[in-house]
Chains A and B, each alone.
Chain A
Amino acid sequence: MNKEQILENLATAIVDGDDDMALESARAALDAQLDPLDAVDQGLSKGMDIIGEQFQSGEVFLPELLMAASAFKAAMEILKPEIELQKKEIAKQGTVLIGTVKGDLHSIGKNIVGTVLETKGFDVVDIGIDNGALDIIQEAKKVQADVIALSCLMTTTMPAQKEVIETLEEMNLRDKYFVIVGGGPVTPEWANEIGADGYGESAIQAAELVKELMDNK
């Protein structure tokens, strides 16, 4: 198999959401001595771009997008150790700390956003559900996050998103991080009102938003 064929297969494995094919193709890439960074950029990421566009246009459905992300992660399990072994670095896109705010235990939407962000090359630190403002900020410091992503599903927990931003302000840390908000009841108006740096309607839009914020940093 030539290099082009392997890259093509990596992309196809992502588009098809085929974990086995993704693993196989990633191994084939290493066997053929491909640069693992090329395998990511020109294979896996290309596949994610294709499926991302197809999702945006309504051609593929959300479960298919998640299958693609899962295949991406599977291939990365093979490629990442080799990248580290070769002392190469994946171009650092930034670190996103993501979690659900205090009082809210709904995790599914947050998980989807985290997964899609990972496929876009971001380091994602998922701190799970029911996080108080101070805990979130402490974690953000610890992992040197660039972006804090706050999720909530209930109208009754929305004020907790505001609280995180207020606490950052009180601690004079607001300009250290981009803060983005999302979740069922969250709207662009709410994001604006509480002084967040942005809002994404879907996981794909959230990933685009983070990319845009980081590009303009």
Chain B
Amino acid sequence: MPARFAELLTDEQVVRVHEASLEILENVGMLVRNEEARARFAKHGCLVDTQTQIVKFPRAIVEHFRQAIPPTFTFHGRDPQYDRTIPGDGPLTTTSSSAPDVLDPQTGNVRRARSDDIARIAYLVNELPGYDLFSISVTADDAPPGQYSLSRFYPALKHCLKPVRGSAPDMDEVDNILKLGALIAGSEAAFWERPFITFQYCALISPLTMDVESTEKLMRLTERGIPSYGVVAPNAGVSAPFTLTGTLALANAEFLAQAALEQMVRAGKPIIYEPLPTVADMRTGAYAPGAIETGIILMGCAQMARFYNVPSGGFSGLSNAKTNDAQSGFETGMSTAVTVLAGADLLNMGGLLDALMVFDFAKAVIDNEIALMLKQTGRGLQFSEENLALDVIAETGPGGMFLDKLHTIQRMRATALLPEIADRAPRNQWEAEGMPDSQTQAMRRVREILTRDNPAVFSPDVDARIRAEFEDLVAGDAVALDITTD
């Protein structure tokens, strides 16, 4: 772990951003469209204008409730070996969420994503060591009515032992997904002992607005103690001021308002400070999550989260690239690198192209490698007296060689990351292999995984119980790729 995280703000500036956020909440306030939420705010001393639906927050109230946020957040997996708690186990990396389209792994064409894609992606994430959790990457176009989210969670949980995170449009769907969880765990009690499903919601619409239905979900999920947290996503220049500092102050205010409501409903609810701050490309207004400014603002967010002693994360490493080219690599690589150096505990980074529109299997494999590089970065130099290696330096001496030392042999598989996608072969060998680029290498890995059977799939008994419970449920199978296609 780094001795000091990269910090763009001085301690005084952090306090000033915090103060500025309090000023925003106290003087400008939030438009709260959900009546029950307004009532809760009023009950705890906020000033509510019933005409305009504007809620203003006296600073003492914000200060009081933000101190109730716990310092850690735990994700559970179907298999406990994948349980992760941040900050301790961080930096964690996950796929990014809810793209409507997928690049078909056989044809290479963009099409609507389906539940069988989710099954394949879940299997891929299960096998790729860079991912700590699976945030359900795409929507399911084949979902039967009333099973919009069940059609996503079922294939995801069926094929992945790691923690699964996703969203649901309403509480009926949440209840179905929890029922699914209990069927998988064996009983409700067993599920609640280690709830391996986490929900995410977007109750906040920048600037400074809380909507009706998502806020409803926030309150219902929170009061029932269902693992869940919200994301704020200001877009600088459009839904936030066009300064990075101003966007940070606004995002921070929105986070604090959301956290206040969560803690009012259930004091001590664990959450993650996990925004998706972006800039607009002012030439056209285009949404630019791939911009480096996303990473820069997230560095500020990580610092604010540390000030509040709350686990931090963010949607870092998104890309506007349409295909797996240099742009997709440098956008994902640069933003995540700065975010991880700033001490963010969770990076939502993998698998998506075209500004969260398209999931690409090859991109997910490449991002797995970037994730492993980030984890390596998070470990840092691993300073210790032993790692100064003074004995072996003395033993080898001037002009000697370290290659054949026992010291080296003991560490040769662990010290440096051994990449699968980055090519380090000599040119002639690379040419002999058909000059594969990283896209080709990544697709090889995709095929290698997705043509095998997945041992993580639940037993036929469990599956039969689930299918008996939910009529018309999607098959949720990770249909094996046709290996003859290239």
Q: Which residues of A contact B (CB under 8 A)?
A: 58, 61-63, 103, 105-106, 108, 112, 130, 154-156, 158, 184-185, 187, 189-190, 193, 202-203
Contacts and interface: CB of A to CB of B under 8 A. Distances in A.
Contacts of B98: 155-156
A193 B110 CA distance: 14
Given A155-B139, A189-B110, 15 more contacts: A61-B282, A61-B284, A62-B284, A63-B282, A103-B213, A105-B212, A106-B205, A108-B239, A155-B99, A156-B139, A156-B148, A185-B357, A187-B357, A202-B284, A203-B285
A52 B110 CA distance: 31
B287 A184 contact: yes
B100 interface: yes
B287 to A, nearest CB: 6
A98 to B, nearest CB: 17
Given A130-B212, A155-B139, A156-B167, A185 B282 contact: no
Q: Is the interface of B mostly helix, strand, loop or mixed?
A: loop
Interface residues of B, number: 29
B80 interface: no
A141 B46 CA distance: 42
A108 B366 CA distance: 35
B186 interface: no
B427 interface: no
Contacts of A106: 205
A103 B282 contact: no
Interface string B314-345: 00000000000000000000000000000000
Interface in B261-282: 280, 282
B282 A158 contact: no
Nearest to B101: A187
Contacts of B211: 105
B210 to A, nearest CB: 9
Interface in B96-114: 98-101, 110, 112
Given A105-B33, A156-B98, A112 B285 contact: yes
Interface string B110-142: 101000000000000000000000000001000
Contact of B100 (A103, A185, A202): A185
Nearest to A105: B211
Contacts of B280: 62
A202 B209 contact: no
B373 interface: no
B169 interface: yes
B238 interface: yes
